Structure 1
Amino acid sequence: MTPYYILAAAAANTDEGKVEAIARQFGWHPQLFFSQLVVFGIVIFALNKFAYKPILEVLDDRRKRIEESLASAEKIKTELAETEAARKKILENANTHANQLIEEARSAANKVKEQETQKAISQAEQIISKAREATQADHERMLAELKSEVGKLVVQTTAQVTGKVLTNEDQKRLVDEANKQIAA
């Protein structure tokens, strides 16, 4: 393998100019070279316009969205801290007020206890009795509502599962069975 500089030197010994000889030796054609430069320039322009700029715009939009998200997250974090502080303050105020009410109730109860022990006990028993009655009534009302809702759901579910329309007798039987299971 002959080094290129020897070939270039051998080409320089002919009547052609040195540059032309080297260009001919390496197969360089000026018309092809300049046409390739023009095509390369067009490709660079097209890539810049249709690939590079849109990609940069997408990346810039993404960067902006990330910055907005970070700013929004920071704002939410600040608002959360403020809300937490306000919640703690409200709870402290409520606890203080509740403690004051408890202390006032204790002192009033002690005074009433000292003055009218029997009357207070009687009233307390009445209040407890009424509360129990109200609780029992609420319990029974809620149980009746639960039975009604479960009955409706059982009828609807059975109708959907079986795919047929249930008669009033079938519906009543299913509701009664569901109510028996709830009562148990």
Structure 2
Amino acid sequence: MNSIFFLAASAAEGGGPLDAVTKTFGWNPQMFFSQVVAFVIVALVLKKFAYQPVLDMLDERKKRIAESLENAEKIKAELARTEAARQEILGKANADATKFIEEARAAAAKVLEVESQKAIATANQIIVKAREANDAELARMKAELRREMGRLVVETTGKVAGKVLTLEDQQRLTEETNRQLAA
């Protein structure tokens, strides 16, 4: 604070602040130039060995940070592409799986239909064979019944008539009985 008052007082005297400082502290040009040279040397040494490496390190750090950010963006974009590809693959896999399931269901339905048709055809064949066997058995039984009926008629007629029937009489009675049974 005192130096401000001192400078103000010397300015009032008309000498100016520089004159006042020079008178108070003195001026030694050799010392001034040697200090300027020392200051310049120290400034250059500091710039070369202290300040410049710090600036270089800061520049390197900025570059690494910029590269890291750029790589992070690239990784983020790649991750987004990968996620999109994954979603696409999953969607396609789900569609394929659904398609395969539908095809399997259709094939199973087709196999079921074919097997049902085979079972129905087999059942129909069994029914037809059973009917044929039944018809054959019925025809056999009817034929046997006719023979038995003819034999009984011939035997009964022979007993009722009290005589032995000839072969022609037996055939005639059998044919007549068969005609009456058929009607």
Give me the TM-score of the superposition, normalised by structure 1: 0.51
Residue type at the aligned position of 1:62: R
Question: What is the aligned length?
Answer: 111
Superposition deviation, residue 114 in structure 1: 3.0
Q: Which residue of 2 aligns with 1:128?
A: none
Q: What's the CA shift string for 1:41-70, capped at 9, x where partnerless?
A: 111111111111111100000011111111
Alignment root-mean-square deviation, CA: 3.2
Q: Which residue of 1 aligns with 2:51?
A: 52
- Determine helix, strand or coil for the equivalent of 2:27: coil
Q: What's the CA shift string for 1:149-177, capped at 9, x where partnerless?
A: xxxxxxxxxxxxxxxxxxxxxxxxxxxxx
Structure showing greater radius of gyration is 2
Q: Which residue of 2 aligns with 1:26?
A: 25
The residue correspondences of 1:26-175 to structure 2 (distance < 5 A) are 26-116=25-115
Change (3 A) 1:86 1:33: same
Change (3 A) 1:109 1:22: closer
Give me the TM-score of the superposition, normalised by structure 2: 0.51
Give the whole-Å Cα distance in 2 for the aligned partners of 1:29 and 1:8. 25
Give the whole-Å Cα distance in 2 for the aligned partners of 1:3 and 1:106. 108
Residue type at the aligned position of 1:33: F
Give the whole-Å Cα distance in 1 for the aligned partners of 2:30 and 2:39. 14
Residue type at the aligned position of 1:79: E
Runs of 4+ aligned residues of structure 1 deviating over 3 Å after TM superposition are: 1-9, 21-25
Q: What's the CA shift string for 1:42-100, capped at 9, x where partnerless?
A: 11111111111111100000011111111111111111111111111111111111111
Gaps of 5+ in 2: 119-183
Give the whole-Å Cα distance in 2 for the aligned partners of 1:48 and 1:76. 39
Identity %: 56
Q: Which residue of 2 aligns with 1:138?
A: none
Residue type at the aligned position of 2:61: R
Residue type at the aligned position of 1:37: V
Give the whole-Å Cα distance in 2 for the aligned partners of 1:84 and 1:36. 67
Q: What's the CA shift string for 1:122-163, capped at 9, x where partnerless?
A: xxxxxxxxxxxxxxxxxxxxxxxxxxxxxxxxxxxxxxxxxx
- Determine helix, strand or coil for the equivalent of 1:69: helix
Give the whole-Å Cα distance in 2 for the aligned partners of 1:39 and 1:30. 14
Q: What's the CA shift string for 1:20-59, capped at 9, x where partnerless?
A: x973442332221121111111111111111111111000
Residue type at the aligned position of 2:57: V
